[in-house]
Amino acid sequence: MSLINLIKNLNINIGNPAKTAPKVFNFETLGNFFSGSNKKNNKDLIPYYFYNNITFTNVFWKTCFDYVKLKKEINSKKLILLIKRNFNKKNYFELITIYSILITLGKFSIAYKIRELFFLILENDNPSLKSKYLNKIISLNKGIQSKEKKNLKKNKVKIINSIKNFKDKNFNKLLSKYLNGKKVSVVGVSIGSQGNAKKINKFDIVVKFNFFSKKHYSDLNTQSDRCDISYFSDYFLKNKKKLILNSKNQIKYFVFKFNKSNDYSLLPKKETAISNVYDDLILGTPSLLINTLFDLIRYYPSEIMIFNSTLYYPINNKIRNLNTKKYRKINFETKYSVFSIVKSFAVHDIITEYIIVRNLFILKLIKVDNQLERILNLGLEKYLRKMEKYYKNSILILLNKNYKGL
């Protein structure tokens, strides 16, 4: 059961005013609000009313509306002070709602401070009310999701053992035998610019995402067309299953996330494996990269190295130009790709994703190429500031549903 559902159960048991899991937002729901497409009787419907706090509700949504529609910059100090005044031990689960809204708006730095406030209130809450679920969230914040390196060093053995020794009904013995003791290269989700193909091919096993054909790898210098294991998203399985069934390539294992609604029929049984889903996030679901790394680690490869993944950090001018006069000169495919990326920021919680990848690297559970290492060495706060700057324009276009010029 995911942490969000556990929080829902806890709210009900302790009589918390928020008797459901915290409301989380995405581009579709917020876009309808900001574009005015959810009007009824010429009255805007506020997407969410915070518990017993009409004044805060109105001020918060006006601040968001002014930023998206009028491009009036948010005063972070003023907003954080307002939030601190209105949230305490009684209603602090609603901070997760605010966190999701701010990430969707692309205000990553403020969202990060709200995340810190949430954990601060949580840790100082009445110990008698703490359930095993709350203690689990606290332990995660001091463990693999900790921003503090001292917590990593202090709990290093415990963290590593919890990841490596996790086995459930989806643990695949054949895949374990195949991966155990091998050197594994993981070729990233967001493409880097380095020519890593020769380095990738030197590994015993090459892992890629949603791979089904060599034909779709035009830049063989950067990526290589080799793939031994492919991890697939739920979307790919549901919408492009025929591509997998019709593929004739060298893939030895097709790996899919465990999902009761997934249809695994017709897939080759010997080559199909199911991965566990890493649900321990306070917001959204794990990205395919994060889920794959946790799944691979438990099969005890001798080495895991990530290539060509930048955690969506803009390493070239294609993304940066979205905020310049060169924007209209960018082809549609590039723009569409960027919009797909920004829609995933709240779904997969880019703040926690960065922290997890950085911590896996620090704990030496993974290695990374030079490009990703430079991004991790930026530090979380600088990374978030840069991401805000380079994705701001495309996020505002999406939220305003202003697609002119695309």
Final residue in a domain of this structure, among 141, 158, 183: 141
Q: What is the predicted pLDDT for the residue at 76?
A: 93
Final residue in a domain of this structure, among 141, 161, 193: 141
DSSP for 153-187, written as a single string = HHTHHHHHHHHHT---TT--HHHHHHHTT-EEEEE
Phi and psi at 122, nearest 5°, equal -60, -45
- CATH code where residue 373 lies: 3.90.1480
Final residue in a domain of this structure, among 141, 158, 187: 141
Specify which residues 86 forms β-bridges with.
none
Host domain of residue 40: 3-141
Domain count, the chain: 2
Angle 54-70/27-35 helices, nearest 10 degrees? 80
Verify that 259 and 360 share a domain, yes or no.
Answer: yes
Q: What is the pLDDT along the chain (406 residues), one digit of tens a residue?
A: 555 555 555 555 544 544 455 788 888 888 888 877 555 443 457 888 887 788 999 999 999 999 999 989 999 999 999 999 998 877 888 898 999 999 999 999 999 999 999 888 887 876 545 556 667 777 777 888 888 888 888 888 888 888 888 777 788 889 999 999 999 999 977 655 667 888 999 999 999 998 876 665 556 666 778 889 999 888 777 777 777 777 666 788 989 887 777 777 777 777 888 887 777 777 777 889 999 999 999 999 999 999 989 998 877 655 555 444 444 444 444 555 667 778 888 788 899 999 999 999 999 999 999 999 999 999 999 999 999 988 888 888 888 875 444 4
Instruction: Give the residue carrying structure tokens 């994705």.
Output: 391
Verify that 295 and 175 share a domain, yes or no.
Answer: yes
Q: What is the predicted pLDDT for the residue at 338?
A: 65
> For residues 116 and 145, what is the distance between their CA atoms, to the nearest angstrom?
12
DSSP for 22-40, written as a single string = PP---HHHHHHHHHTTT-B
Verify that 219 and 314 share a domain, yes or no.
Answer: yes
Bridge pairing between strands 272-275 and 303-307: unpaired
- Answer yes or no: is 156 within a domain: no
Angle 54-70/76-86 helices, nearest 10 degrees? 160
Q: What is the predicted pLDDT for the residue at 73?
A: 94
Verify that 195 and 328 share a domain, yes or no.
Answer: yes
Q: Hey, what amino acid is at 392?
A: K
Q: Is 398 exposed, middle or buried (0-12, 13-18, 19+ CB in 10 A)?
A: buried
Contacts of residue 135, Cβ cutoff 8 Å, sequence gap at least 6? none
**pTM confidence score:** 0.86
Q: What is the predicted pLDDT for the residue at 168?
A: 74
Q: What is the predicted pLDDT for the residue at 116?
A: 92
Verify that 244 and 378 share a domain, yes or no.
Answer: yes
Six-digit token string for 255: 């790996």
Q: Comparing C-alpha atoms, which of 201, 331, 352, 342 is closest to residue 278?
A: 352
Phi and psi at 238, nearest 5°, equal -75, -35
Q: What is the predicted pLDDT for the residue at 220?
A: 64
Verify that 23 and 131 share a domain, yes or no.
Answer: yes
